[in-house]
Structures are given as structure tokens and as C-alpha cells.
Structure 1
């Protein structure tokens, strides 16, 4: 059922107002009253209606997600329709390569709910523009998101990814505002696409600079559009061995710009055209343009782009300067082919020194002569462009270019160069970085087995099933199984090149885990019961929580079956349905961790530093019970905390090994270890409590 339109409430009043024969002065007064009182009331009513309604995802064609390919989220610095540049070109090429791409618009939609608006950008169901819901829809350049806004944005992106049944994500962040949202998504790779020196723009809030530093320090991969940008940040932030940096320059749609337009645009006056297109902003050198206009009075100086710095007004005395304003991207080629000489008249400042101009690649695709100021990145083009050191050199270079033959060997050389600098080339380089083998901190997983072969098979299969998961060091410790587990494990360990420890008898949960921990080489250590099945990205997501929260000593997952707050209300019939339900839940709880006094050790992870401070599990608890409570107390004693991650789900059968023990023996073991725990810690044991149902 569609939502009622709040504007309908005011429509009859508007009609009546228009029909009334009111004096002009009274109409003006009533208009001011409405803007001051009526409009806020209207908005408040609309927000109330939205807040009390359920979000329903849109209905549109969406291609099925492929297990082997991640979805790409472009966390935009501009809206899709603003100006067709690097973000849109990369997104389109990734979509053409079979990836699903969701372009998160820089404009938010004012809505108090968690949700999103969607606009398909092609017919394949692989490319979309997304507007996330956010109360009051703040402008992303003006603030850094506070905790409340970040929480709503995480829930909103969770709704999108849940609706899309996304398996895994590559987050391509193009503005630091998005860091607290995009940087915490589960089962994701975080890529910062550093396209510009953001502090060089006058509209970016100062606090966004801190977010950018945090982003560069935490991203799995940082791409720099220019070598100058990479050098700049190299001096600002020490790079760790685990961080991957690369220069990924801009490019051109060569096929589009290289072909002469069927109907080239004609200059308003006769004579050669000296042309520029792009932003007419504060970094545009008006004095240089004025000198060019005076030096070439017989030429038209054609400037194409949004004039945000009153360039036209400042050049109004130069009658041969023409401004068109912004033109659609699909008309640019027609204008470009009307140029006789292309220019890049920028001021030399930090912002422009950091840039790798897209337009130069496009100018060269058309084979046009290019004259530019001396920017660092343009030395990459020095065989194809003319770099002018000063104003007179710039004018002299334009004069020489105007005298050169229209179809010269130089023109063909420029196009040959541009043909190797396309967005297809850039996306191939991008994919090698985002989907290729990547250096990650090693995670060691210790799995203790005691019979229950069917559970063990499923557990180990889930550990090795994730096509994009990081390589794990898996150490299996068998406690004297007698159901065929030993033979299976020997074959499995040989096939997968993993470590197997075979005990002659059941040494108990703590002792067996300690054996595995003693051999583990990982920077992060996970203990996993054999009656579990992990979901895609579980290890990477838990590891990232530990890395983002240095005071966190131990972290677990949510599950379907446990005796404390980590148990969630989730239902499924088989492992395939489990994977879908788990994704839906974890996307909607992205980045959320919940403090927990005692974690169940069916699935926990700790950094090696915790293990070195706290030590091995206490083997006094024998076959099991209370060793997890004890370890959590020791973690607290070391000044660290415990929590479970709401965005990691692990299926758990619960007490599969203890189910083989006679009930009376199990109860005696429980009572014995409870007394041991209470004596050790000098206080009564606090029973675990399930979470309250909403």
C-alpha cells in the first residue's frame, strides 16, 4: 500500500489561497508565514507518517548475485548526473564486466527510517544509483557523521544489501564522509579511491580531514589518482606492511572521443577555436585566460562548464570569450572536435598539483594539440602535450599549435597514446588489485573434534568453502574419536595441507585447544567447535572488529543456538537457506558489536596479544564446562573486554560432544566445574542470560 502524500493535506488550502482576491502585500505576508510555520509543520507531519510506516524495498529488475564475484559499492563524492568523470566510468566498466554496482549518491534522502531509494542506470539489472535514507539529509561535505547518523546510514545500507542478497562487497570510498559506514561492513574489502586533495576544496568540513586520515590508515587498499597524491600522503601517514597502496590514474572513453562527431558544434564566430571544458572554479587562472583572449583576438575562446567562480563576469570585457555553461556528457565530443587547440589554464596550487586531469586524456583521444600549465602529473604526457612554464610560453605554444596541420603525425601519435589509456585498462588494473591475491594477517583456527563425523565434515567444508575468503591456518585436534573421524581427518589434512593432531584419548576441551594454540602461527587465533558451520567472511569480519577496537580482547559471533545473549531469533531449513538468512541479518547489523560478560567458546577469536597476556585455557576444567567463563574473567583481569559481533553469524548445533555423555555424568561434571570456578574466583557463578525479545 503506497504511503499517503503529506502534500495532499495542504493541497486544498493552496487551491483556496490561489482563488482568494488578496492584495499583493498580503500574499507576500502569507507566503512568509507559510515558509516560517506551514512548511516546517508540513515536514513534521511527513516525518511522522514515514516514521510510523514500514520501509518496503522498490520493485525493479536485479540480476542475481554470483558467489564468485563481489558487489561493488561506490560511495560517491558527487551525484551520478552531476558530471561524468572517473566514478561513473569505473562503475560502468565494472558493470559491463559482470559485477553488480551500486553507486551511493552524495545526496541523502530525508527519511527517519532505515532504507533507500533506487534508480536503475541500465537495462541489465547490474548498475544502480542509490540514495540512502538519513534524517534531515545533511550535506556530506559539511559535516562528519555523528554516532546517530552513522547508525542510521549503516542500517540503510544494510537494507540495500539484504534486499540485493549480496554475498560480499568491495567498498570503493570516494569521499571520507562515508568512512564510519563503509569501513565497517561485514565480509567486505575497503578501498579508498583518493581522487583529489579534499582539503583543497572550500566546502569540506575540517573534521573530514581526520576521517580521511583514519580511512587511509585502515583501508585494505588505497588508490591514488596521481603520484603527487601518493607522495603527499606518504609524508603524512606512515604506511604499514599490511597496507596496499597503488597509483590508478584517470583515463578516457577513447571510442567516444576519438570518433569525429556527426554534427560538430560550430563556434559562434568565424576563426579558430581555443577550447576548454570542465569546472570553472577558483582554481581556474582568469588572468591567463585574459592574456590568451588578448593575444588571439581572431580566435574564439570557448569555455564549457558550470561557472561557480564568476569567470564569465570577470572576462566580460573580452568579446571573443564565450561561455556555454554545463553541457551533457554526450555532447562533449561534438564540442571537442570543434576545438583547434585545447587548453588547461589552472592556477598552480596544492589542489591542482594533486590532480590527474581526465580532460587531457579526452583531448588526446580526439588527437587535439594540448597546451597546459606545469602540473606534476602532466609530465607523464610530455611527449603528447606542451607544458608552458609561464604566461608567455603558454601563448607561444598556442600560436605554434594553431599553425600545425590539422591532420598531422603528431595528431595520430596523441591518439595512439590515448588508445592505451582507457577506462577498460584502468578497470583491469583495479580488478587485479581488488580481487587478486591480497596480503592479510594470518588467522589460525583450532577445531577440536570428538566423534560426530557428520558435524566435522560440515564444519571443515564451511571453513574451506568461501571463494573470496582469506586463507586460514586450520589446526584440527582430535580427542580419540572412534567413529571413522580419524581416517577422514587424515585424508582431509593431506588434501588441504593443514595440521592434524591425533590424541589417543579424550583430553578435554581446554587441553586440546591448548595443543592447537601452541602450534598456531597466526596473528589472530580462533577457537571453533566442530558442531558449527561458518558463513562467508566470518574470519575477516571478526578480525576487523578486533583491529578497530584495541581494547577488545575476545570476540564471538551471533548464532541460532547458545545459552546467552548471542542467540538470535533466526529460522531456516537447510544450509542454503541458512546462508541467505544469515546474510540478511548480518547486513542489517553491520559494524555492531555488543559487550558480553561471558562468551560461549563455540566460536571465538582473539588477537595474539590477548593470548600472550592471558595464556592458555585452564585445563583443570577437564572434559569441559566453565573453561570459557574462566577465560573471559581472565581477559577482564588483563584489562580487556569481551563482545560478540552482530554482523557475524555462525550456525551451532550446541553440545554435540556432551550429548554423547550420560546425563548424570554430565550433571556431575557441571557441578564439579562450577564449584571449581567459584572457588577460583571467590564469587558465585552468574548464569548466562538470553537476550530479551523485542
Structure 2
């Protein structure tokens, strides 16, 4: 039997509809080398484990792992520890990839030893056919140093860096923090235009606003852990804890006068007319202001709760 080349690590929590799309796409890979797909169920209550157990014949590359709910960092570490492949690709369970995904990452990683490969991310609200989203002819890449939506790396470097820090117990920053340690090992990020991830987000609606703001609070709280581990100007820019960001988002929201209450009529009007993506981008401006202001107001109190 040939040595396993790839282990695709897919943590999931209550995302069965889009997870099925994710796994179907991973079964269509053009690569001829052996690969496995490790789904780590993080305590789902939506029937994910039962479905994958009874429909295993649909996904011959699948290896199912389960754990009690412990968040994405622990789930990814479980996948890393269990992986049989030389390389690991991280694919979130709301991601659908193109057929050339693993082959493209393989070719990129062959360019050196101390490198990792970062692919393209296309956002979509199309649950039925996420990979039908138009792909821009000119590749656009994020400045994110280590985004697990579409990233591939040799397993040895994840082990050398110490894997994900499970101290990040809420939403946000655990992948970027690992990226800082990967960077300290001297690895270089290479872009991989041929590996495309279609990232599904449910269309914005007014009822999602409280949940979105709760996630921003979680991200603000995890920013404290991130900065505690890496107290640098680079991290301050990442988490937006600077006077520049406070001023920028303050100006764009008129000092917070444009907020979840005052924007609601406009956002409702846009959603009613099928412009939910525009509504989301407008609300995102307030979300940035909300996060930055939350950090400035709660940083010391939360830091003491977390570390004192």
C-alpha cells in the first residue's frame, strides 16, 4: 500500500447540510496519490455522526472521529494527532473545494521544505451549489498569515510548532496565533491560485444581528489571549487594538450613532429587496466599531479574569 500523502482535517459542529457538500467535493479530487478525509465531530447534536455512520459508502476517503464539544482548536489537534498523511490540509466544514484542490497544494508545497500553501477563498451564500460561485480571473488573496479555511502544510511543522493552543476557548484567533509560531520556525507562506475554497455563509438577516455581535465579543476576548502570547505591534494591528482603528471605525459609524438599532430599518429594507450581501457589508462596519470599542472598554477587566 502506498504511503498516505494527504490528510484533510475537517472539524465540524452542527453543520450537516453544508458538511455533505464539503465531503462530496473532497471525494472528487483529481489527485492520484492516496489521501484521507478526517472529520472531527465536536459534539454535534444535529445528527452529523449518525448520518456519516449510516452513509459511509458515499465517502470512501472518510475517517470519522468524535469528541465532546471542545471548540475548533481541540478538534483540529485531534485531527493532527490522528493523521496518517505527510501533509495536512485544513478545510472548515462550511467549505467546498474545487477538484484540483489537493493537486494544486501538492505542487505548491513541492517548491520547498519550510513552506506552507495558502489557497483562494470565494464567499458564497448558495447552499445548494456553493462551488457555482463565479471565480475572479485575477486571484485575490487575504493577508491572513494562517487561515484554516484553505491552508496546507507538512504535518511535521504543525508538531514542531506545538499545534493549536486549546486555551482559545471561544471564537477567533487560534489559527492566527499558531501562524505566529509557524512563522517563528522560519516557514514561508506560498500562495496557491489553483486551490479554491468556496466559503458558505448563510445570507444576512436581521435576526442574525445579536449572534454576530456575540461572536465579535468572543473575538475581542480571544484577542486578549492572542496579545498576551505575542505582545507585538503586528498583533495589535491584527486585532485592531490601536487608536487608528478606534478613530477609523468611530468616524465611519459617526461615533456609534450608526448602530444595530439605527441601521435596522435600512438593513431590513435591503434584505427585503434581495440585497442581503450589501446589508452585511454595511453592518460589518458597525461590527468592527463594536469589537474595537468592546476591547477598549473591557480589556483590563477581561485580562484579569483570564490571567489573574
Q: Distance in 2 between matches of 1:462 and 1:547?
A: 23
Q: Sort the Cα spacing of 1:671 and 1:597 in 2 relative to 1 into closer, same or farther, 3 A.
A: closer
Q: CA deviation at 1:497?
A: 5.8
Structure 2 unaligned spans of 5+: 241-308
Q: Is the CA contact 1:594–1:643 (under 8 Å) kept in the aligned structure 2?
A: no
CA contact (8 A) 1:596 1:642 kept: no
> Aligned pair 1:541/2:90, yes or no?
no
Q: 1:203-242, aligned counterparts within 5 Å?
A: none
SS in 2 for 1:687: helix
State which of 474, 480, 486 in structure 1 corresponds to 2:37.
Answer: 474
Structure 2 residue 234 is the aligned partner of structure 1 residue 672: no
Structure 1 residues 575 and 645, CA gap change in structure 2 (3 angstroms): same
Query: TM-score normalised to the size of structure 1?
Result: 0.31
Cα distance in structure 1, aligned partners of 2:93 and 2:141: 25
The answer as to 2:139 corresponding to 1:559 is: no
- Aligned counterpart, 1:550: 113
Q: What's the secondary structure of 2:145's corresponding residue? A: coil
Cα shift at 1:630: 0.3
Alpha carbons 1:442, 1:523 under 8 Å: kept: yes
Q: Give yes or no for contact 2:109–2:117 (8 Å, CA) kept in 1.
A: yes
Aligned to 1:485: 48
Shift of the 635–682 alpha-carbon distance from structure 1 to 2, 3 Å rule, reads same
Compared with structure 1, are the counterparts of its residues 655 and 645 closer, same or farther at alpha carbon in structure 2 (3 Å cutoff)?
A: farther
Partners of 2:111 and 2:31 in 1: CA distance: 22
Residue 607, structure 1, aligned to residue 154, structure 2: yes
Name which of structure 1's ranges 634-643 and 455-464 shifts more when overlaid on structure 2: 634-643
d(CA) in 2 for partners of 1:597, 1:623: 19
Flag the structure with larger Rg. Answer: 1
Contact 2:35 2:61 (C-alpha < 8 Å) held by counterparts: no
- Partner residue of 1:685 out of 229, 236, 240: 236
Taking structure 2 as the reference length, the TM-score comes to 0.66
Structure with the higher fraction of residues in helix conformation: 2
- Following the alignment from structure 1 to structure 2, what is the Cα–Cα distance between the partners of residues 682 and 492? 47
Change (3 A) 1:660 1:507: farther
Instruction: Name structure 1 gaps, 5 residues minimum.
Output: 1-437, 563-570, 690-694
Equivalent-residue separation in structure 2 for 1:677 and 1:532 (angstroms): 25
Q: Does 1:651 align with 2:198?
A: yes
> 8 Å contact 2:130–2:200 — kept in the other structure?
no
For 1:304-319, list aligned pairs within 5 A. none
Cα deviation digits, residues 178-231 of structure 1 (max 9, x gap): xxxxxxxxxxxxxxxxxxxxxxxxxxxxxxxxxxxxxxxxxxxxxxxxxxxxxx
Assess if the C-alpha contact under 8 Å between 1:556 and 1:643 holds in 2. Answer: yes
Kept after mapping to 1: 8 A contact 2:131/2:198: no
Q: Structure 1 residue 681: deviation in Å?
A: 0.4
- Structure 2: distance between partners of 1:598 and 1:646: 16
Q: Which runs of 4+ in 1 moved over 3 A?
A: 438-441, 466-471, 492-495, 573-578, 593-597
* RMSD of Structure 2 on Structure 1 (CA): 3.3
Deviation at 1:494, TM superposition (A): 5.9
The aligned counterpart of 1:503 is 67
Structure 1 residues 561 and 681: CA distance shift in structure 2, 3 A: same
- Note if 1:632 corresponds to 2:179: yes
Partners of 1:634 and 1:655 lie apart in 2 by 32
Q: Name the counterpart of 1:450.
A: 13
The number of residue pairs the alignment matches comes to: 231
* Cα distance in 2 for residues equivalent to 1:480 and 1:640: 33
User: CA–CA distance in 2 between the matches of 1:622 and 1:443?
Assistant: 28
- Aligned twin of 1:531: 94
